[in-house]
Amino acid sequence: MDILVIEDHATDRKLLSVVLSIDGHVVHERASAEEALDAAVSVHPDIVLLDLQLPGLSGLAAVRQLKAHEATRHIPIVAVTAYPEAFPREELLAAGCEAYVLKPIDTRELPRQLEQLAGKRAN
């Protein structure tokens, strides 16, 4: 499965990349929401894993852009945040996210969660 990871913190981005790569996924990393749309169009990922607390364009704005664009609206987006009080789950689901993951991320559970989400989309 191709996964696009949008995360501004290099350490978190690397951790996600390593965990998902070890599980056999192809990971494409980007550091900002501004890069999310271009990367999603060029990479054609199966899933986007998107941090919400990003400098510049917010993760929530990126979700709305991805869901508004013809070429990317079908891609499942998994929101990631350490600040659930700033990003209520209901608001994210209404914006188009298919799932919501809290930091610190359970690195054993994340690959299974993404595979389940991809499996649901394929059915």
Task: Give the CATH number for residue 102.
Answer: 3.40.50.2300
Mean pLDDT over the full length of the chain: 92
* Residues 118 and 76 sit within 8 Å (Cβ to Cβ): yes
Q: What percent of the chain has pLDDT over 70?
A: 98
| Integer angstrom CA distances of residue 86 from 10, 15, 37, 98, 105 | 22, 24, 23, 18, 17
What is the domain range of residue 18?
2-122
- Number of domain units in the chain: 1
Q: E strands, 18-116, where?
A: 26-30, 47-51, 77-81, 99-102
d(CA 14, CA 45): 18
Written as six digits, the tokens of 64 are 């709305």
d(CA 20, CA 62): 22
Position 123 pLDDT exceeds 80: no
| pLDDT band, very low/low/confident/very high, at 3 (cuts 50, 70, 90) | very high
Position 62 pLDDT exceeds 90: yes
Q: What is the mean pLDDT of residues 21-41?
A: 94
Torsion sign, CA atoms 17, 18, 21, 23: negative
Position 121 pLDDT exceeds 70: no
Strand partners, 47: 3
What's the pLDDT score for residue 117?
86
Q: Is 15 helix (H, G, I), strand (E, B) or coil?
A: helix
Position 122 pLDDT exceeds 90: no
How would you class 79 by CB atoms within 10 Å of its CB: exposed for 0-12, middle for 13-18, buried for 19 or more? buried
Give residue-wise pLDDT tens across range 72-119: 999 999 999 998 888 888 999 999 999 999 999 999 999 999 988 887
DSSP-derived letter for residue 45 is -
